[in-house]
Structure 1
């Protein structure tokens, strides 16, 4: 059996922030020239710089040329949106303040301050840790994985609720997969007037999809040996009736 530290592991703030960057498809940029939104126009360098492909007439280019080097001249905002429809679909927001410069045909944004806001609150991410961190290895595949789990394996999601404290399932009306990373799977528990999240950690981190498949099989095996939550059993019986 894995030790308790491994069993309760979760991504560090820097890794989580880099994962949001890796998976995000759009971003909003606020600078002296105003606010612009871009879709599919950014990439991320290994050191955490954000490279933007902007039109030649973009006000951001003028702001990048005129802004003093080293002074905060822009703020980038990224939203981490759950790929599966759930209540409260925004899982996290990432704000990055810094300065911009034109580099090798791209508008390069150099972050000087990184703030990650999640359900648990906001945290300022250490800049050196952010630059050295890597995104979760499952970040770019997460949307496809969760959508497949929700659309094709609803029975497996229901079975996994056997691993959840029964008190957390009181009044439940729907359970959906909310997030997955190398450390575990998070379920969104929806009730009539509220919702909450439950994390099911893996026995050890998964560094690729093959390992994730094995980790999920372990969770399902554990769930198969647990009793069915009475709240879900009662709900299913009433629905069948």
Structure 2
């Protein structure tokens, strides 16, 4: 049933990067004064700049004040961590290279280069596209949505595997929801050796949680009409013995 969907819409690299910036709770900053791990200390301005809210005694503030031109270079690193416990929980990393300058109450970081690395590889994100992009509308609710799906509705997750091609499920020992965005749901298929991801696209984008609920109901209805994968049937039978 892996060919049920004829399209596989997904966020652009700039949108994914912007969602990482919005949802990440921490970031690592490497600058001339060393490396600092910041937690809950960054926001993103409307112009795409990253605003760092750090203590006055931070080495970053010292570096900004002491820099010859007042704009020390730095690299910011953000990690996108799956909210559901799975193998290889880091779904993506985003690096921003650039410089920062002190402004009232914060340090303003101006990126000059952005690189997004995901399972499929690394891509350089156009800065214009990054500045114009907006976070996925589900980005801030994703963690709660996925943990609820995994913890309260494991039966629904299993039913959704009926939409996955049998080749992708071969040797599967566990399936968990890995990610969701306005375009679709991604499942992590863990095998005895290694794991893989399968994307189940929605029939139309979901711009809020209410629309996501409807999109999920459509997927589950399609799954209910599909045959149960033989590999999972065998595993369930063997486990009942």
Name the structure 2 match of 1:67.
67
CA–CA distance in structure 1, aligned partners of residues 50 and 71 of structure 2: 16
Q: Is structure 2 residue 34 aligned with structure 1 residue 10?
A: no
TM-score (norm 1): 0.95
The ranges of structure 1 where at least 4 consecutive aligned residues each deviate by more than 6 angstroms after the TM superposition are none
* Deviation, structure 1 residue 48: 1.6
Q: 3-state SS of the aligned residue for 2:141?
A: helix
1:239 aligns with 2:201: no
Residues 183 and 204, structure 1, Cα contact 8 Å, conserved in 2: yes
Contact 2:27 2:38 in 1 (8 A): yes
> Quick check: 1:70–1:99 contact (8 Å CA) kept in 2?
no
Cα drift, residue 95 of structure 1: 0.1
Quick one: structure 1 residues 72 and 196, their matched pair in 2 at CA, closer, same or farther if it must change by over 3 Å? farther
Residue 65 (structure 1) shift? 2.4
1:228 is displaced (CA, Å) by 0.2
CA distance in 2, matches of 1:188, 1:175: 6
Instruction: Report how far residue 72 of structure 1 moved.
Output: 6.5
Paired residue secondary structure (1:176): strand
Using the size of structure 2 for normalisation, the TM-score is: 0.95
1:131 has 2:109 as partner: no
- Secondary structure, counterpart of 1:147 in structure 2: helix
1:173 match: 173
Gaps of 5+ in 1: none
**Residues 97 and 72 from structure 1, CA distance in 2 versus in 1: closer, same or farther, beyond 3 angstroms?**
farther
* 1:142 aligns to 2:142 (yes or no): yes
SS at the partner of 1:17? helix
2: CA distance, partners of 1:127 / 1:202: 29
Could you list the per-position Cα deviations for residues 40-79 of structure 1 after superposition, in whole angstroms to 9, with x for gaps in the alignment?
Answer: 1111112221111111111101222233559760000000
